[in-house]
Amino acid sequence: MTPFSILLLPGDGIGPEVVAAAERVLRAVADRYHHQITFTTGVIGGAALKQGRPALPDETLVAARAADGILLGAVGDPSFDTAPPAQRPEAALLKIRRELGLYANLRPARVWPGLESAGPLKPEILKGTDLLMFRELTGGLYYGEPRGQSDDSAHNTMRYSRHEVERIARRAFEAARLRRRRVTSVDKANVLETSRLWRQVTTAVGKDYPDVTLDHMLVDTCAMKLTYAPSSFDVILTENMFGDILSDEAGAVVGSLGLLPSASLGDGVGLFEPVHGSAPDIAGKGIANPIGTIASAAMLLRYSLKLEDEAVSVEKAIETALIAGLRTADLAAGGASVSTTEMTERIVAAL
Ligand code: NAD
């Protein structure tokens, strides 16, 4: 049996703490399901800059391309706040996404049991929310040319090709098959030509997935519906800028930043990371919430290693720990809280 190889990129701030927690969980999964997983660790972000190397050293990129999955903590270090953009830790993120051709960004937003009151919505509205946002990550307005600014005007270009829409649409339909088999494609087809192409292509791709229901929704309607009926969504598929905005909105409706995982996928290796940053204010204190990273590790099992049962068992173990009442400080609302390690060990015990 060929062992799976996972590259760990702890990065900065709380990154090393939460990545160690997720590694502990992945090792326990490997033991329980008799998989061989080899772990290697690479440097990225401020941790690399402090060694006098670029934020994304070549050696890290080579290791990334060779891995079956990459688990990243976070990058960002206040001591580089005044450095030029290319010499800041965050430059590593843009570069690794670009170099690995990661065109699909997946952000699940679900309400975990016992945390129905953690977000800003009424618990009865939030109840049952479990959606997966598919955001196109390498095209659209953020990358389109021409772009420019003069004294009196500025312009950007939103451009999509059939190929760009088709490849992410296929991934969204495939993902829906592992879920409740429903895709909502979000666009602005009443105004934008790119959205009309988006709608044509997603409709055509949908014909190859007759077992998945496809509907189309305008982005403004989607933004509203996320606040009054978030539980009505399964997979949301959308272009880069709409997804940037809607995925933050969806994350906010389900509550704490420390709980949110993400995956970025291309045609090769995938990158998995919590949505939060390096949280320098709590780094080194042992109180960071590891769940966003552990849930990202579950996504790595699901989407890169194709180990669905193992992914589900990690998600269920997180649920068990939360149902048992365990809360890290960010979730405790002033009540009793546990450390990063205690939360991790309870999740491992529940596996
Ligand atoms: P942040 O996400 O690091 O922190 C925001 C707030 O949430 C802080 O109060 C922090 O303590 C809290 N928080 C975040 N994650 C937590 C966790 N797991 N458990 C408990 N509390 C948690 O955002 P920020 O403060 O705006 O940024 C800090 C640094 O991180 C900056 O340098 C920024 O550029 C970088 N950043 C990196 C990424 C990334 O690596 N993908 C994403 C966002 C920000």
Nearest CA residue ID for atom 8, ligand 1 = 279
Residue 334 pLDDT > 90, yes or no? no
- Selection from 164, 172, 175, 241 nearest residue 201 by Cα: 164
CA of 243 to the centre of ligand 1 (A): 20
Please confirm, yes or no, whether 244 is among the known catalytic residues. yes
CA of 53 to the centre of ligand 1 (A): 23
**Predicted confidence band of residue 1 (pLDDT cuts 50, 70, 90):** low
- Contact 266 CB / ligand 1 (< 6 Å): no
What's the whole-number mean pLDDT along residues 317-325? 95
pLDDT tens, residue by residue, 215-256: 999 999 999 999 999 999 999 999 999 999 999 999 999 878
Nearest CA residue ID for atom 42, ligand 1 = 277
Percent of the chain's residues with pLDDT above 90: 90
Predicted local distance difference test score (pLDDT) of residue 67 = 98
Predicted local distance difference test score (pLDDT) of residue 2 = 72
- Selection from 131, 105, 117, 88 nearest residue 265 by Cα: 105
**Predicted confidence band of residue 206 (pLDDT cuts 50, 70, 90):** very high
Nearest CA residue ID for atom 16, ligand 1 = 258
- Contact 251 CB / ligand 1 (< 6 Å): no
Residues 31, 208, 215, 220: which is the catalytic one? Answer: 220
Predicted local distance difference test score (pLDDT) of residue 94 = 86
- Selection from 236, 243, 169 nearest residue 201 by Cα: 169
> What token pair was written down for 129?
């929310």
Q: Name the pTM for this structure.
A: 0.93
- Contact 12 CB / ligand 1 (< 6 Å): no
pLDDT tens, residue by residue, 94-112: 899 989 999 999 999 999 9
Integer angstrom CA distances of residue 128 from 56, 176, 186, 254 = 39, 17, 21, 11
Percent of the chain's residues with pLDDT above 70: 100
- Contact 10 CB / ligand 1 (< 6 Å): no
Predicted local distance difference test score (pLDDT) of residue 346 = 98
pLDDT tens, residue by residue, 251-274: 999 878 899 999 999 999 999 999
Residues 188, 234, 303, 330: which is the catalytic one? Answer: 188
The answer for 325, left when phi > 0, alpha when psi is -120 to 50, beta otherwise, is left
- Contact 310 CB / ligand 1 (< 6 Å): no
Predicted local distance difference test score (pLDDT) of residue 85 = 82
What's the whole-number mean pLDDT along residues 333-349? 95
pLDDT tens, residue by residue, 17-31: 999 999 999 999 999
Backbone phi and psi for residue 175, each to the nearest 5 degrees, phi listed first: -65, -35
Please confirm, yes or no, whether 248 is among the known catalytic residues. yes
**Predicted confidence band of residue 118 (pLDDT cuts 50, 70, 90):** confident
Specify the ligand 1 atom closest to the Cα of 279.
3
pLDDT tens, residue by residue, 119-168: 889 999 999 999 999 999 999 998 899 999 999 999 999 999 999 999 99
Read off the amino acid at residue 225: K
- Contact 108 CB / ligand 1 (< 6 Å): no
What's the whole-number mean pLDDT along residues 22-46? 97
Nearest CA residue ID for atom 23, ligand 1 = 277
Residue 221: enclosing H or E segment and its boundaries? helix 219-228
Predicted local distance difference test score (pLDDT) of residue 24 = 98
More confident residue, 85 or 215: 215
CA of 84 to the centre of ligand 1 (A): 20
Most ligand 1 atoms within 8 A of CB, residue of 278, 327, 331, 337 to mutate: 278
Predicted local distance difference test score (pLDDT) of residue 117 = 84
- The mean pLDDT of the chain is 95
Nearest CA residue ID for atom 27, ligand 1 = 277
- Contact 6 CB / ligand 1 (< 6 Å): no
> What token pair was written down for 184?
């909502």
Please confirm, yes or no, whether 285 is among the known catalytic residues. no
Residue 220: enclosing H or E segment and its boundaries? helix 219-228
- Contact 281 CB / ligand 1 (< 6 Å): yes
What's the whole-number mean pLDDT along residues 48-59? 96
Between CA 56 and CA 187 the distance in angstroms is: 34
**Predicted confidence band of residue 177 (pLDDT cuts 50, 70, 90):** very high
Cβ-based neighbours of 170, under 8 Å, separated by 6 or more: 205, 208
